[in-house]
A and B are shown apart, each in its own frame.
Chain A
């Protein structure tokens, strides 16, 4: 069997950043397995700009951002295999992979980094009534067709869901000559970034209808019209509010979920909230030696944070390979809980004896909060209370825990992150 110190599943932004940082941390034997025919992952089809403000202090397009990391991978001569599908990962870190060129083979790894990214929620999961004609695409599929393959799905477009990909595609289709008639959003707020609402919808006069959903799809062979209706606060359509739009394309941008097939196969403990693995402060999953980062762990809003998180995962995986397991049963491990508006945290536990001096804890809120406070409690003691003018589900939040503030509190059981009105 082939052996590598670190096998990274996925050559998108997370996998690339993890690889580079693992190399910098001293690991020579690294292999990236990528299922597409090139590195870069989903960034290759995200040809719009706005990536990298935090990382590079400039606005890059997706392919440019990806290339900054690809260059580093090439410079560092990190090995990668393209067109390669990982079929299985065992708890003993045996990775089964397959490709046209290399056939079916197994790799024994000392550490594995999961960086498979996420996928779009399909229409079926949304249960939209109506026919099942051609002309219905997830926004990401349409993005690939338009930007990579160079094909237009249609000319008259309705978009369900105001996730960022949907917003970006509204502008993209408009620039390519299509008419985007409306963007309907089930929730009373958009899950997309403000910037995208302004630059992708407002700029082109595309209406955004909040608290609306598609209630009917017409067209037996090809989609010909959809009906949208307003929904009440339980998400049920309100009779009498129906509006019909003729269209030849319906794009669905109804959220992303971590790609969790392999995580499940590896027997990793999963979070019901993020749909990704539960991880420790080192971004290690419940299976020894398997780390996770990027959108496979939890869906991020900005790729910059994916890179940052992945670099940490790479560093920690390297440490695991070089030093072996350091955790002891006597270590002080504390659970991080998300309550009162905070939906989850990554990581969900912290080992105070092993943590770095600073630990970034990322989370998302479940609704829009204005002029509220993000608070951190050590059991009942509040140690952090920061005012935020706006907190929205579409944007990831973070707090930074300092080791020195946690050390010496032997009775500490739970760190709680919550949203407070005052």
Chain B
């Protein structure tokens, strides 16, 4: 039996796992995907929001502002690419200028620092590619950009290093409490038991919650389409550019990514299918039309991929982070939509504190607070890189030519804690396959490495677990089977 089971290895579950790994407790994370970061956490804007959007006094506002504050230290501790590039909410209609003041006031009330309202000239000077129609902007220097995969992966790796167990491909099918109040979780991989359960199941958090509570909740998957543009045009804007928000959210942003691409998105469409992360022609067209309103000359010829993500939208647009009233020892982290990524460290801290008090947990003496990321040889000097290759020749073998990712980095991604087992797993950890050729060149080569290192037959190597096999069979039928 575990002391605590966390359902979901997304950014929320992983953050909670890391915070709890400080304490002497038996902890397990159950994840239905084949890896960490396979749901909402993998497809979002990758923005560390300043915190002026959420309603004053809301959990969302508190977590956002606290998460933003924590991010600098966390990024340093866990070796995560993070940059405070600042955000601008751009007003393009004179009559809407008051809206900027409203946002500003809300931001101040929420505790956002350094907010400033810019006039048209100031805004254009800071960001020359803003629309001609710009009337003014709210400037939030504390806003940042981060690698959402690495944030999630780093927290999970660190938790694992501190003793948290992770079970992948493990879907929770039913949860019941026995007479002693012990939770029994039935999964496709057998039964798990725990004293406490933390529900961090993203868009599925309602299903998990509703297994144990009569007070039903409903999470609506809110789909957002994105376009990712080539690094060649990553500098089209320097700041994260938002339109003024509407009741559907923060609108279509244009932003550099921490890796130097340009991202445009998301749309906002409420759907029913909790796995419905398909892009639509209407969505992409809508995106392009909307983004063009605030940023001029968007170089859309340079799109290298489009994708869609699902936000876990709860009807009250508020984070639900508390013990479920009619299910003692069952804690929800539900409705974690944007700014969920920003808030994740704060949610972890909050839940960690909550659990410490509830379970009277004691701190480990030897807790490891730092995690070393995958070595990026591109950040080394010529001499250091040459030295590295001399020592470890795999770093001299480029596998992904678009992003210049070497075999050494891929080997690291495979062999570190919670290592990659699929093409997407390698991609999220190393960026191999994330460049302009979108894995055309490197896929067969990464497959060979996975095959060699993990002994997974080529036919069983997947893009992202499940039935996402890349190749079906050997050519030449039976005869071709033996290699």
Residues of chain A touching chain B, judged by Cβ–Cβ distance below 8 Å, are: 35, 83, 85, 87, 96, 98-105, 119-120, 122-125, 127, 129-135, 137-138, 140-141, 144-146, 149-155, 176-177, 215-217, 220-222, 237, 248, 261, 264
Contact = CB atoms under 8 A, between A and B. Distances in A.
Contact of A152 (B228, B385, B471): B471
A129 B278 contact: yes
B176 to A, nearest CB: 29
B464 A152 contact: no
A152 B473 CA distance: 5
Contact of A134 (B404, B440, B463): B463
Contacts of A217: 278
Contacts of B483: 150
B281 A248 contact: no
B25 interface: no
Nearest to A119: B437
Contacts of A99: 396-397
B266 to A, nearest CB: 15
Contact of B304 (A125, A153, A248): A125
Given A124-B228, A129-B284, A221-B466, A104 B389 contact: yes
B400 to A, nearest CB: 11
Contacts of A146: 475
A410 B455 CA distance: 71
A124 B463 contact: no
Q: Is the interface of A mostly helix, strand, loop or mixed?
A: mixed
A129 B407 CA distance: 32
Interface of B: 227-228, 232, 275, 277-281, 283-284, 303-307, 382, 385-386, 389-390, 393-394, 396-398, 401-402, 404, 407, 436-438, 440-441, 443-444, 458-459, 462-477, 480, 483
A124 B393 contact: no
A150 B278 contact: no
A151 B458 contact: yes
Q: Is the interface of B mostly helix, strand, loop or mixed?
A: mixed
A124 B440 contact: no
B280 A129 contact: yes
A123 B228 CA distance: 12
Nearest to B277: A131
B278 A98 contact: no
A237 B475 CA distance: 36
A130 B475 contact: no
A85 B472 contact: no
B389 A35 contact: no
A99 B397 CA distance: 5
A145 B444 contact: yes
Q: Name the 10 nearest CB pairs between A and B, nearest first.
A: A124-B305, A134-B468, A122-B438, A134-B463, A151-B471, A85-B398, A104-B386, A100-B393, A221-B466, A221-B468
14 contacts: A101-B396, A122-B438, A124-B228, A127-B306, A129-B278, A129-B280, A134-B469, A138-B437, A141-B441, A145-B471, A150-B474, A151-B458, A151-B472, A155-B472
Contact of A122 (B393, B394, B437, B465): B437
B382 A104 contact: yes
Nearest to B275: A220
Contact of B480 (A35, A105, A150): A150
A144 B389 CA distance: 28
A132 B307 contact: yes
A42 to B, nearest CB: 11
Contacts of A176: 475
A103 B474 contact: no
Nearest to B466: A221
Nearest to A248: B472
Contacts of B398: 35, 85, 98
B444 A152 contact: no
Contacts of A83: 397
Nearest to A146: B475
Contact of B475 (A129, A150, A215): A150
Contacts, number: 141
Given A105-B386, A120-B437, A127 B284 contact: yes
A123 B303 CA distance: 10
B278 A154 contact: no
Nearest to A120: B440
A152 B440 CA distance: 16
A119 B441 CA distance: 9
Contacts of B277: 131-132
B440 A122 contact: yes
B444 A100 contact: no
Given A130-B279, A141-B440, A153 B396 contact: no
Contacts of A141: 440-441, 443-444
Contacts of B278: 129-132, 216-217
Contacts of B474: 150-152
A127 B282 CA distance: 12
Contacts of A127: 227, 279, 284, 303, 306
B475 A222 contact: no
Nearest to A153: B471
B472 A154 contact: yes
A138 B442 CA distance: 12
Contacts of A215: 281
A222 B423 CA distance: 14
A237 B281 CA distance: 10
Contacts of A237: 281
Given A98-B398, A131-B277, A221 B467 contact: yes
Contacts of A129: 278-281, 283-284, 306
Nearest to B389: A103
Contacts of B475: 146, 150-152, 176
A135 B279 CA distance: 17
A122 B476 contact: no
Contact of B404 (A87, A100, A120): A87
Contacts of B436: 122, 125
Given A119-B440, A130-B278, 15 more contacts: A35-B401, A103-B390, A104-B386, A105-B386, A125-B304, A134-B464, A138-B437, A138-B440, A141-B441, A145-B471, A151-B459, A151-B472, A151-B473, A151-B474, A153-B470
A137 B444 CA distance: 11
Given A122-B436, A125-B303, A85 B444 contact: no
B447 to A, nearest CB: 9
Counting chain B CB atoms within 10 Å of each CB, which of A85, A150, A151, A153 scores highest?
A: A151
Contacts of B306: 124, 127, 129
Contacts of A120: 437, 440
A103 B390 CA distance: 6
A125 B480 CA distance: 35
B464 A221 contact: yes
Counting chain A CB atoms within 10 Å of each CB, which of B307, B396, B404, B476 scores highest?
A: B396
A106 to B, nearest CB: 8
A340 B466 CA distance: 53
A124 B275 CA distance: 20
A122 B279 contact: no
A210 to B, nearest CB: 20
Contacts of B443: 141
A100 B394 contact: yes
A87 B395 CA distance: 13
A221 B275 CA distance: 10
Given A122-B440, A127-B227, A237-B281, A133 B463 contact: yes
A352 B161 CA distance: 70
A104 B393 CA distance: 10
Nearest to A138: B440
B281 A152 contact: no
Contacts of B307: 132
A119 B400 CA distance: 13
A302 to B, nearest CB: 23
B279 A134 contact: no
A100 B396 contact: yes
Nearest to A106: B382
A261 B304 CA distance: 15
A220 B443 CA distance: 19
Given A35-B401, A138-B440, A122 B480 contact: no
